[in-house]
A and B are shown apart, each in its own frame.
Chain A
Amino acid sequence: MRPWPLLLLASSTLTATAQSSAKPGTGTVTGRVYCADTNAPARMASVQLKPVKEIAPRPGTDPHDIGMPASGVVQTTLDGSFAILNVAPGSYYVIVTALGYLSPHPRDDNSDNSDDAKTQPPASKPPVTIARVDLTADQTANIDIRLERGAAVSGNIRFDDGSPATNVLVVLLRKIKDKWEALPTGDYGAFAMPSSLMTDDLGHYRIGGLHDGEYLLMATLIHVDLMPPDLRGPGLSPTLRSALIVYSGDTMRKSDAVPFKLGPGEDRAGVDIAIPLSKLHSVSGVVTAASNGHVINSGEITIEDPGDKESVANGQLDSEGAFHLDGVPEGSYTLRVKNASDRQNQQISGAGGMNISSEKIAHQYGDLEQPLKVEGDFPNLVLTVPEQTKQHASQ
Chain B
Amino acid sequence: MRPWPLLFLPLFTLAASAQNSSAAKPGTGTVTGHVYCADTNAPSRVASVQLEPVKDTKRSGTSHFSGDAPASGISRTGFDGSFTLAKVPPGSYYVVASAQGYLSPMPNDDESDDVEPQPPPGQPAVVIPRVDVQADQAASIDIRLERGAAISGAVRFDDGSPASGVMVMVLHRSKDKWVPSTPQVPFAAPVPPATDDVGHYRVSGLRDRDYVLMAILSRTDFESRGARTTGLFGVERSSLRIYSGDTPHISDAVPIKLGPGEERSGEDITIPLSKFHSISGVVTATGDGHAINSGHLAIEDPNDKEDIVDAELGSDGAFHLEGVPEGTYTLRVQNPRDQRIQEISVAGQQAFTNEKTLHQYGDLEQSIKVEGDIPNLVLTVSQRPQDHPTAAQ
Contacts and interface: CB of A to CB of B under 8 A. Distances in A.
B60 interface: no
Contacts of A19: 316
A225 B187 contact: no
B89 interface: yes
A75 B196 contact: no
Contact of A70 (B24, B76, B202, B224): B224
A270 B206 CA distance: 27
Interface in B63-104: 69-76, 78-79, 86-87, 89, 99-102
B248 interface: no
Contact of A99 (B164, B189, B231, B237): B164
A208 B197 contact: yes
A132 interface: no
B204 A200 contact: yes
B89 A99 contact: no
Nearest to A284: B78
Interface string A205-234: 010110000000000010111111001001
Nearest to B40: A163
Contacts of A174: none
A225 B197 contact: no
A209 B202 CA distance: 20
A269 B188 CA distance: 25
B45 A165 contact: yes
Contacts of A327: 79
Interface in A223-274: 223-228, 231, 234-236, 241
Contact of A223 (B78, B186, B202, B323): B78
A152 B74 CA distance: 35
Given A21-B316, A286-B20, A44 B165 contact: yes
Interface string A305-344: 0000000000000011110101100000000000000000
Given A75-B220, A152-B197, A295-B23, A326 B291 contact: no
A25 B183 CA distance: 51
Nearest to B86: A320
Contacts of A224: 76, 187
B12 interface: no
Contacts of B143: none
Contact of B164 (A71, A98, A166, A280): A98
Contacts of A286: 20
Tell me which of B164, B187, B205 has the highest count of chain A C-beta atoms within 10 A of its own C-beta. B164
B22 A295 contact: yes
B196 to A, nearest CB: 5
A68 B74 CA distance: 36
A202 interface: yes
Interface of B: 20, 22-24, 28, 37, 40, 42, 45-46, 69-76, 78-79, 86-87, 89, 99-102, 150, 157, 159-166, 186-189, 196-198, 200, 202, 204-205, 217, 219-224, 230-232, 237-238, 273, 276, 278, 291, 316-318, 320, 322-323
27 contacts: A21-B316, A40-B159, A40-B160, A43-B163, A68-B232, A73-B232, A75-B220, A75-B221, A77-B219, A78-B322, A78-B323, A100-B164, A152-B198, A159-B45, A159-B79, A163-B37, A164-B101, A167-B187, A167-B188, A206-B197, A208-B196, A226-B186, A231-B28, A231-B72, A280-B79, A320-B23, A326-B79
Given A167-B46, A206-B197, 7 more contacts: A21-B291, A35-B161, A73-B222, A78-B278, A159-B45, A200-B204, A241-B76
